[in-house]
Amino acid sequence: MPTLARRLRQNKLFELVFTVAIAIGLAICVQAYAVKPYRIPSGSMEPTLSIGQRVLVDRLSHRLGSSPSVGDVVVFHPPTGADDEICGNRETGVGTNTPCAMPVPRAAKQNFIKRVVGVGGDRIAVVDGHAVRNGRRENDPYAAPCGSGPDCNFPHPIVVPHGYVFVMGDNRGESDDSRFWGPVPVAWVIGRAFASYWPPDRLGTL
């Protein structure tokens, strides 16, 4: 028959194993449904985010129905063909003076990270790489200069459809974004990046 001391040790061991199991389960749930780490794959968000930098993405708020706001940095699925700058409305986008008005109807499996510069109902144009929202140029101290080339100027505005967001990289001269392949359906947004955790010298909120 087990002694009292042995039963106590067994109970403490069970409690420890049970606690660790619960902690691991909670961590997996948090990563799957609430917070997800994301590695920056390109320089399209410089100087805000550098290649290899790691950020935390809030997935839960979006799952609970929160919509992105102007200024948010979001992770999302781009439309199929985004790498080739394919616009769903061929009369707008590359080679015109108008930003792409509509994406192709299918989302790609890859993830992009950009900044929201317009939401449903906003009139958006782009002048010298700056988003012009409802006739007013954005306050964008985070943006790198773009220049005066055709990729930086789409002066004829479009209206962002309701249920969509217009996104641009902070590195306006080196970003593949809504200018070329259109607004993104809110349903394709994964979540908002809210903090940087690596490297240590870039630790902080976004």
Q: What is the value of pTM for the model shown?
A: 0.84
pLDDT band at 3 (very low <50, low <70, confident <90, very high): low
Q: Delimit the domains of the chain by residue range.
A: 1-35, 40-205
Q: What is the 3-state secondary structure (H, E, C) of 89-123?
A: CCCCCCCCCCCCCCCCCCECCCCEEEEEEEECCCE
Look at residue 17 and tell me whether its pLDDT is greater than 60: no
**Percent of residues, the chain, with pLDDT higher than 70:** 82
141, 86 Cβ separation under 8 angstroms: no
| Token representation of residue 97 | 């003076």
Q: Supply the pLDDT for residue 20.
A: 46
Catalytic residues: 44, 114
Band of pLDDT at residue 10, cut at 50, 70 and 90? low
Q: Is the pLDDT of residue 204 over 70?
A: yes
Contact 80, 87 (CB under 8 A): no
In eight-state DSSP terms, residue 158 is E
pLDDT > 90: what percent of the chain?
Answer: 74
Give 40-205's CATH code, choosing from 3.40.50.720, 2.10.109.10, 1.20.1070.10, 3.40.5.90: 2.10.109.10
CB contact at 8 A, 172 and 152: yes
**Averaging pLDDT over each range in 60-64, 132-136, 149-153, which range is the top one?**
132-136
For range 110-119, the mean pLDDT: 97
